[in-house]
Structure 1
Amino acid sequence: MQNKQTRLTFSDFELAKQLFGERDGNLRHLATLLLIQIDARGNTVHLKGDPVAVDLARLVLEQLYGLLKEKYPVFPADIDYALRILRENHNVNLKKIFLDTVFITAKKRAIAPRNQNQKAYIEAIRNFDIVFGIGPAGTGKTYLAMAMAVSALTKGTVNRIILTRPAVEAGESLGFLPGDLAEKVDPYLRPLYDALHDMMRFEKVASLMQNGVIEVAPLAFMRGRTLNEAFVILDEAQNTTTEQMKMFLTRIGFNSKAVVTGDITQIDLPTGKSSGLVEANEILTSVSGIGFIHFTKQDVVRHRLVQDIINAYEMLEASRNHK
């Protein structure tokens, strides 16, 4: 197949520089991913290589330039996200995804979806009272749910945020652990604290927790409660039992939202115990008012190496299964 050559000129020189990246790093990265040649001169780029790859590179650059014109700061990782999305569907408008800001952090960083599944997840949380986000680590399930919760609290649509996860490593028998209650449960809830502190100033989080506006607690502590006007997140839900999942879902009260996240490939329950998340996925998908979003390794938005690591372990598992 004969190589194709295309030239792109961007009218705004400063935005073009941002698009190309420091020392044209974004262009070099895109060229490496698509196995084509990209050369920049001033505010013009010359693309050469496989026709399909050249057309895809042009689409990526044009759409990212459009985002820059909307004051969206393009980071190197956005090259990967944009390419992954547009490779699957050339007709996707990246503005509808990347500009759907969920929350602005205390450090003025915008939290927004980075792929179509994340966009669908955000829309599901907006439209349903109960949403399940199921998929591998690094897909933003918990982080985006947390951002939606903080946004809802800030806007006054809920009065409190409740974050919970099963303390499966301790068998939810926390009494034998040293220290007071906070010291007993902190190790199991630390990832939720980390996400909170990434979005809000430490002092603000501490104040809201002290006043009971934000509560972080093991799942066992939800029993017997009715949660009204709250945004409730159940994390690591693959490690809930059938009884725990039923208990949690029946806690939801008026004007509340619940988001349940988990990875059904990482179940740590004792042998013979069924995962409440797996069962909920089987029996609740047809229930009106409950949304299910399934993420895959293609939706991983952490460091690009995370997806490579997931692939490597999948290959190892496959090779073991073939033996």
Structure 2
Amino acid sequence: MGQERERLDETELKWPWWVTGDCCGLVCAFVTGILHFFAYYVQMKYVIGPWFGVFSYAGIGYTCIMMLAVVSHSLCRFTNPGTVPLYLVAPKPLDQSVQREFVCKRSGVIKPPTSHWCSEAQRVVVKMDHYCPWVNNVVGMFTQKYFLLFLYYTFLCCLFSGFTLGARAFMCSRRSRHQIPFQGGASLCNPAPLDVILSVINFVEAVLFVLFTGCMGADQFEAISKNTPYIDRLQGKRGKARPLLENLRDVFGEPFSWKWFLPLPPPQQQRQQFNKMCYDTYDHLVKCAKAFQKEAEQAVEVDGEAIASNQQAQARRRRGGSATIAGPHSGYAYSKGYTYSNGAT
């Protein structure tokens, strides 16, 4: 590797990333954006606008939350999740047990701890949790923060929409029964047919996605708290037990601050961790390959000595000699006791 090992080529990590092999993911990601803008239109046109005003605190707050959700979704969709560079091909030869753990059998590149092959992205992804069709991307080292923010802000948007629509219906029903003045006025309590249809659709959407994002958020919280991605849990693996705050710091790439709540690019500290995980794994495999090569050469040498000794003994017996020579063993067992720990989880 030479000087190339000092730093990963981050060109690919900076390029726009787009998974094109999953039609379902392409459709779901597009529909997700459409649903966000549909809900925003209904809220501003039929609820927030006539009730509070577009530029009211409610209108501005909802706009900010919706934009944070959309931006987080877009970045999660078009950001490289943390793919292992294709030039980091595992050295050879390697023991089979080492290959199974640290080498991708489909692509031949190295597999750092917690990394897995994604069939949709066709790459090995570091800290891969799962592939999500709603963002059409892999939730991995560089996209999990965006995914969490997308879930969080979408949950808030749906909660806000459901609350305002429910409050509108409740206040208008009281107004019609008891003639109680309502700040929203006649436009809110005497809706047009299109208003009713769109508001009902918006309410159903809000309820469904509050439940969906809430369940997904709970699943992500469990994975982070246990320091074990979803795929590792399916395989029966368990990450190192650590405090929750430390695991969150690992996901967001930096200590707790206001930056956690904004969809900002991955910090340099997280990129350095990615670099270290990849090259620590590569260094480990280089050492394993050298040890395996050395043992193989020793085995060949021992077998050669055994063959030579047996040939000498047979020659003596043919000459009538009675002496026998016990040669070294010819069966050689390769050592498989390699262990590896780079401190990464």
TM class by smaller structure: under 0.3
Q: Under a length normalisation based on structure 1, what TM-score does the superposition of the two structures give?
A: 0.25
For the pair shown, the structure with the greater C-alpha radius of gyration is 2
Higher RCO by CA contacts (8 Å cutoff, separation 6 or greater): 2
Name the structure where strand makes up a greater proportion of residues. 1
TM-score by length of 2: 0.24
